[in-house]
Amino acid sequence: MKLSLNWLKHYIEHGLTAAELSARMTMAGLEVEHQETVDGDTVFEIEITPNRPDCLNMLGLAREVSAITDKALCLPVVNVHADQAGIEIVVEDKEACRRYIGTLIEGVTVREFPADKAKVLQAIGVKTISNIVDVTNFVLFEYGQPLHAFDADKLVGGKIVVRRAKKGEKLVTLDEVERVLDESILVIADAEKPVAIAGIMGGKATGVTSATKRIILESAYFDMGLVRRASRKLGLGSDASYRFERGVDMGGVVKASDRATDMILALAGGKVVARRDTGAGITAAVRLAITVSANDIKKLLGTTIDTARARRILERLGCAVTVAGDVMTVIPPDNRNDLKIKEDIIEEAGRVVGFDNLPLTLPRVGALNIPVDLEREDFNRRVAASFMAQGFNEILTYAMISRAALEKAGYDGVKPVAMQNPMSAEQELMRPAVLANMLLVVASNMNHGQKDLCLFEVGKRYLPTGERWTLGVILTGRRANDWRRGKREAMDFFDIKGAVETAFGRQRVAGLKFIVGKDAGLEPGQTARVLIGNQDVGRIGKVAEQVLLNFEIKKADVYFAEIDLEYARDAVTPRLKFEALDEYPSVVRDVSLAVKDVVFEDLRALCLANGQGLLRKVELVEEYRGDKIEAGFKGLVVSLTYQAKDRTLTEDVITALHEGIVAKLLGSFTARRR
C-alpha cells in the first residue's frame, strides 16, 4: 500500500517529519519498506499484513497515525443519499453478492480530474483518465471500497443483473483482453450479456467515455473467496480484487457510494435520478464487548499502561470504549475483524505505544510437572566450560536425524524413537546417539578447509526409556601450534582420553576408568568402554575407517567419545578440603615389563590393590614397541611412588613391598620383567 504524505495531510496534521513518521509507523506494525519523492510529495511503500485490510486505504492509515500521535482525525463530510425508484437491480446469487448499491446519475459532463486530486493519485502510481473514472479510483484508495462506473446508455435494458457467468461467455475487459468465462465466475450483466467481472474489472464496451451523459455507479460487497478464485483462474488482478480478496467492510459499501456520488455531482455535474440498495435494512453483526483490566495489560505486556491513555488509543482506532475503575469495556469497529479477544485489544495498545518503548523484562514462566534440576544444569555448564578451557569449540546439532545417517555411523543400539510426522527424511528419528550428528559437522568443516578440529557438544540423546543428557567429544587433525616443538603432531587416542579425564577431574567425578571394549562405529583394538565405578556410561576410541568413508571423510584419523552425563553428575564427590603436606619422604621405584594384551588401567588397579596403603601413585613413564622386544609384546616402564603418613619407610620395607607387587603383576598378566 502506497501512502502519499500530501494526501494524508487532508485528514490529520501529525506534526512529524517523514523520517519520524516512518519510524513510528514501522514500530506500530505498519512497516515502511521504501520511501521515495514523487513530484514534491513523499510516498511510503507500506507492508500491510493480511489481517489488516482496514489499512488498505488512506483513511485507515490516517486513523493509525491519529492513534500513534494522539492527534484528532478529520474525516470527509459526506451526504446521505436515499433510495429512489427508477433502476432495476437483480441479484441472482445472494451468497456471492450480499449487497449491491447502484446509483443512476444523469447529465454528467466528462472532463479532466482536478489537478490537486490528480496529483496525489499520480504520486501513488494511479494513472488519471477522466473525472468520473478518477473519482472511483480516488474513493477506492480513500475508503478501501472498490467502485465502478458504467455508461448507463450502453447497458441493454438499462438493468443490472448480478449472476454467475454461463459457460463459454466472453468479455473484453478494460485492459482490452478477451476473457473466456465459466459458471465459477460472478459477473455483472445487463439484460443480455456480461459487462463486468464482479470485484475484479469492468468491461470495455460499457466503460465511461467523453460522450457519456448517464452513469450507473456501482458499490458492492462480493464474496472474498469467489473473487480470489476468479482472479487466479483468469490470471487477472486489480486494486479492486486485492481488497475484495482480503475482505471489505459492509458499512463501507454505503459510505463509499455516498462519497463518490457527492464528488461526481461536484466535479461532473448532473443529478441523482435513481438509487437502489439491495442490502438496505441489513443490520451489521453485533460485535461482542471485550473486557480488559489494567492487570490484564500488565500481565501480558509486563508493564502498566495508564487506562486513560489506553482508552484514547483505542478510541482513535475506532473502538467504542467505556471505563469503570481500571476496567475497560471495548467494542471493536465493524472493519476490525482481527479484534476478537482481550489479548488483541492489549496488543493494539502496546503496539501504538511502541513495543520499543516498553521496559525490557524477562517473562516469568511457570511449568507444571516439568522437573527442573538446577544442580544438574550447573554441572553440564561446568563440564562445557572445562572443555572450552582446553581449547575445544562447542557445537549444537539437531536433536533429529535420518535413519540413513544413523546406519552410516554404525549404530547398533536400542530401537530409536521415530517421529510420527517428520518434516523431512533428514529428521525422521530422535537421535539415540550423537556420533552421526558430529561426523556431519566434521565433514562440513573439512569441506570448507578446516581439518584441525576439537569439538564437543552437551546435548540430549532420546531413548525409549527417556531423555539422557550426554557429552559428545570429537577431534581430528593436528595439535595446537606450539613454538617449542619443531612440527605440529597429529592428535591421537590419548588426546581425547586426556581431555575427558581433565574435564571430569575438574568436576570431581569419582571412579572414572576405561576398559577395552567393542563398538560397531569404532575401530577394533582402539576402542574402550567408559566406566564410572562399575556403571558403563559410554564409549571412546578411534572412529572406524568405513564409518568415515560413509560420511565422505577421507585421509583423516577421527577420535570420538560419548559419555552419559546423568551418571557422571551422580558420581561427583564433595569438594576436597585442604590437607597438610606430608612430613615424611616418598620413594620412587620403576619397573620395566614386557606385557601382552594388558591395559595400563588394569595394571594400575592391581598395583594399588596390593600397595598396603603405602603405594601413593602409579604412573606410566614409557611405552615401547620395536625390534628389541618379542612380537606381540610391548614394553612398559611403570613408576611407583611409596610414602607413609606416619613414618619414614625403610629400604627393607619398600623393597619387600615393591617386589611383592611386581610378583603379582607377573603372575596375573602375560608379562615378564625386562
Tell me which CATH code domain 290-357 carries. Answer: 3.30.56.10
The answer for 331, left when phi > 0, alpha when psi is -120 to 50, beta otherwise, is beta
Confidence of residue 184 (pLDDT cuts 50, 70, 90): very high
- Distance CA(472)–CA(55), nearest Å, equals 53
> Residue 532: pLDDT band by 50, 70, 90 thresholds?
very high
- pLDDT category at 366 given cuts 50, 70, 90 is low
Q: Tell me the average pLDDT of the chain.
A: 92
Flag whether pLDDT at 328 surpasses 70.
yes
Each domain of the chain, given as residue ranges in start order, spans 2-69, 88-277, 290-357, 374-570, 587-673
Per residue in 593-620, pLDDT tens?
999 888 788 898 899 999 999 999 999 9
In this prediction, residues 387-397 reach a mean pLDDT of 95
HSE at residue 484, side-chain half, CA atoms within 13 A, is: 0
* β-strand partners of 2: 45
Report pLDDT digits (tens) over 549-595: 999 999 899 999 999 999 999 999 988 777 788 889 999 999 999 99
Average pLDDT over residues 337-344: 92
pLDDT of residue 541 exceeding 90, the answer is: yes
Which pLDDT does position 284 carry in this prediction?
Answer: 62
| HSE-CB for 562 with a 13 A CA cutoff | 21
Of 387, 413, 344, nearest to 495 by C-alpha is: 387
CATH class belonging to 587-673: alpha beta
pLDDT in tens, 618-629: 999 998 888 888
Note whether 290-357 and 587-673 share their fold. no
Q: How far is CA 478 from CA 487, 545, 546, 549, 572, in A?
A: 10, 18, 21, 20, 32
Which is it for strands 31-38 and 194-197: parallel, antiparallel or unpaired?
unpaired
Let me know: does 104 contact 272? Beta carbons within 8 Å. yes
Residue 404, pLDDT > 90, answer yes
Which residue type is seen at 426? Answer: E
Mean pLDDT of 638-665: 94
* CATH ID of 88-277, from 3.50.40.10, 3.20.20.70, 3.10.580.10, 3.40.50.2000: 3.50.40.10
Handedness of CA 561, 566, 567, 571 (dihedral sign): positive
Question: For residue 287, what pLDDT is reported?
Answer: 79
Residue 493 has pLDDT above 70, yes or no: yes
Q: 2-69 sits in which CATH class?
A: alpha beta
Report pTM.
0.59
The domain defined by 374-570 folds into BirA Bifunctional Protein; domain 2 (3.30.930)
Q: Which of 474, 597, 585 is nearest to 540 (CA)?
A: 474
Q: Which of 548, 561, 539 is nearest to 442 (CA)?
A: 548
Please report where in the chains the cell 611405552 appears, as a residue. 623
Q: What are phi and psi of 668, to 5 degrees?
A: -95, -25
Q: What is the mean pLDDT of residues 313-335?
A: 93
If one compares 286 and 653, the residue with the highest pLDDT of the two is 653
CA angle 104, 106, 111 (to 5 degrees): 110
Give φ, ψ of 368 to 5 degrees. Answer: -105, 135
**Average pLDDT for 416-427:** 89
Give residue-wise pLDDT tens across range 24-71: 999 999 999 999 999 999 999 999 999 999 999 999 999 999 999 999
Grouping H, G, I as helix, E, B as strand and the rest as coil, residue 190 is: coil
Least confident of 188-197, 440-449, 486-495: 486-495
Q: What is the mean pLDDT of residues 208-223?
A: 95
d(CA 104, CA 153): 11
Q: Is the model more confident about 322 or about 301? A: 322
